[in-house]
Every structure is written in C-alpha cells, then in structure tokens.
Amino acid sequence: YYQDVIGLAPQPAAGATRPLASPLGETCVLLETGEAPALTRLGFQVHPDVPLADLQRRLAAGGVASDLRSDPLPGIPLSLVTHDPNGLGVELYDTAAPAAAVAPSPAISPLKLGHVASYTGDIARCVSFYRDVLGFRVSDWMEDFFVFLRCGPDHHTCNFISSANRGMHHMAFELKDWSHVQTACDWLAQHGYQITWGPGRHGIGHNIFIYHRNPAGQIVELFTEMDTMSDEEAGFFDARPWHRDRPQRPKVWRAAEGSNLWGAGPPPGHRS
C-alpha cells in the first residue's frame, strides 16, 4: 500500500523498523510489526543551532524526562526521546541525511507527510506540552474539542481531538495541487480504495482534502493548498483568495464551518 498506492520508497531496515521515504527523499513513515495497528511515536526535526543536550535540560526544567539515543535510524546520528501527556513517543533530532535516491513512481507520490492527528483525554494538558515545552504555536481551534498546532509555516503539523478514544485519528500527505488530488482520486479507485469524505475544502487550514482508509483501517488524508504563516510576528496567515477573514488570524471555528466550506460535513464515525 505505502509503496504501490501512496508512492513511498522502502529504505534499508533498521532492526525491526522499515523506513519509508517520500519522492523528495525525506523519511516520513516507519513501519514496525505489532499486534494491532497503532501510532507509537512522532518525530520532529529541530534547528541545528539548538543542541539536543540543551533541549534535554529545557525538558528537565519543565519536569519532563527524556533520553538521548545514538544512531536511532540510518542518517540520524542522535535523537532526544520523550513522551507527550498521551503517552505518545516524541523523538527530536537536529540532523537527518537524505534518504537513498527515490526512483520515479506511477503511484500518488506525495510531497511529504504533512501532519498527524491524534486523540487525547486531556486536551488542555496536551496543548500545554506542545506549546509551552516544545514551542509549537496554536493555529486554530474547532470549538473546544479539536486543536491545530504548527511548528513551522504550515498551518498545522499535529492536531489533537478531545475524546475517550486513544491513538491516531489520521495521517495526512501533502500533494502538489488540485490536479494532483484528481489523479490521486483516480489512482485510489483503480486500486480499490474508496474515498470516504471529499473532495472538499476545510475551513480550518483551508486545505483541499480527500480521505480514505488504508489496509489497516486507519484514516489517511491527501491534501493541498494548506494555509501557511510566513511571518510569525505579523500573526496572520498568508492571504489566499478563498479566505473569508482578511487578514486570516488564528481563531475558534464552529464545527460546521471549520469542517468543510464546500458542503457536506464528515461522515458518521469519522471523528470517533
């Protein structure tokens, strides 16, 4: 699925872990054998001018335990590993060598892994960890149960949904443009994968989206035209023709408006 449908390239195994790289050479998914489908950790690259040892001291000052690990994956000489309030592993690294050359693929071939959304039983504590400890910024809220966080210019890198559920809600891969979404729809259909929601345009982030489920039953989003904030000091997202607020600043959205500006909301069971 990840190779023939999504278009990721398998990289040499690292123990029981099989890395997969995007066509641009970035390792974006790690596959491991387990008893059930699950998200076990997230990885974030930090600025190389900030030593990982300094980050470890910062985490310790906030009461967060962490460990430095050597050579966790090929191309990553050192990482700092901790856990968020949900028990999800968080791996920070400052250096990552490009993956081996990725041959052109007839598959969907996304640009990158754009974001991951997870459930949390304590959304306030989760926001505090990612914002106050790791330095993420809050981009938007959907009412009081769904938060969108960024660590770079993209509108969101990780999202959290308040729920009694645990684990991953969805992973999302970025495509080049609207025509790339169209060809992805056809490619999914040719391989027997039905679109469960979309095409549409989210109000939150304003990205065009389609969703389907992978062979493990996990929700996968393919998207394009995500909002970006290139000037953090200005405090608003880069202007786009489809924005209804001018300027478009972080805010709290109503669920219906934030879900899909084009019409139908999520199908039954999409958020549960």
- In this structure, the answer to whether residues 242 and 124 fall within a common structural domain is yes
Which pLDDT does position 15 carry in this prediction? 84
Which pLDDT does position 73 carry in this prediction? 86
Residue 105 falls within a domain, yes or no? no
How many domains is the chain partitioned into structurally?
2
Name the band, by pLDDT with cuts 50, 70 and 90, for residue 50: confident
Between residues 224 and 14, the one the model is more confident about: 224
- In this structure, the answer to whether residues 165 and 42 fall within a common structural domain is no
- In this structure, the answer to whether residues 221 and 156 fall within a common structural domain is yes
Which pLDDT does position 97 carry in this prediction? 86
Single residue among 93, 121, 141 that ends a domain in this structure: 93
- In this structure, the answer to whether residues 134 and 255 fall within a common structural domain is yes
The CATH number linked to 31 is: 3.10.180.10
Residue 194 falls within a domain, yes or no? yes
pLDDT tens per residue, range 61-93: 989 999 999 998 888 999 999 999 999 999 999
* Mean local confidence (pLDDT), 227-252: 98
* Mean local confidence (pLDDT), 201-208: 99
- In this structure, the answer to whether residues 146 and 231 fall within a common structural domain is yes
Q: What is the arrangement of strands in the sheet containing 27-32, beginning at the earlier edge strand?
A: 9-10, 17-21, 27-32
**At residue 217, does pLDDT exceed 70?**
yes
What pTM did the predictor assign? 0.95
Single residue among 65, 93, 121 that ends a domain in this structure: 93
- In this structure, the answer to whether residues 119 and 234 fall within a common structural domain is yes
pLDDT tens per residue, range 132-171: 999 999 999 999 999 999 999 999 999 999 999 999 999 9
Which pLDDT does position 144 carry in this prediction? 97
pLDDT tens per residue, range 7-29: 999 988 888 899 999 988 899 99
Single residue among 93, 126, 150 that ends a domain in this structure: 93
Residue 268 falls within a domain, yes or no? no
Name the band, by pLDDT with cuts 50, 70 and 90, for residue 39: very high
- In this structure, the answer to whether residues 120 and 84 fall within a common structural domain is no
* Mean local confidence (pLDDT), 201-224: 98
- In this structure, the answer to whether residues 52 and 144 fall within a common structural domain is no
Residue 103 falls within a domain, yes or no? no
Name the band, by pLDDT with cuts 50, 70 and 90, for residue 101: low
- In this structure, the answer to whether residues 159 and 84 fall within a common structural domain is no
Percent of the chain with pLDDT strictly greater than 90: 85
- In this structure, the answer to whether residues 119 and 82 fall within a common structural domain is no
Residue 192 falls within a domain, yes or no? yes
* Mean local confidence (pLDDT), 99-124: 89
**At residue 272, does pLDDT exceed 80?**
no
* Mean local confidence (pLDDT), 177-182: 98
Which pLDDT does position 176 carry in this prediction? 98
- Residue 163 sits in which domain range? 112-259
- In this structure, the answer to whether residues 120 and 9 fall within a common structural domain is no
Residue 48 falls within a domain, yes or no? yes
Closest C-alpha among 156, 171, 168 to residue 87: 168
- In this structure, the answer to whether residues 44 and 163 fall within a common structural domain is no
Which pLDDT does position 103 carry in this prediction? 67
Identity of the highest mean pLDDT range in 49-58, 60-69, 172-181: 172-181
Which pLDDT does position 105 carry in this prediction? 78
Which pLDDT does position 153 carry in this prediction? 98
- 49-53 long-range contacts (CB < 8 A, ≥24 apart) are 50/94, 51/94, 52/78, 52/79, 52/80, 52/92, 52/93, 52/94
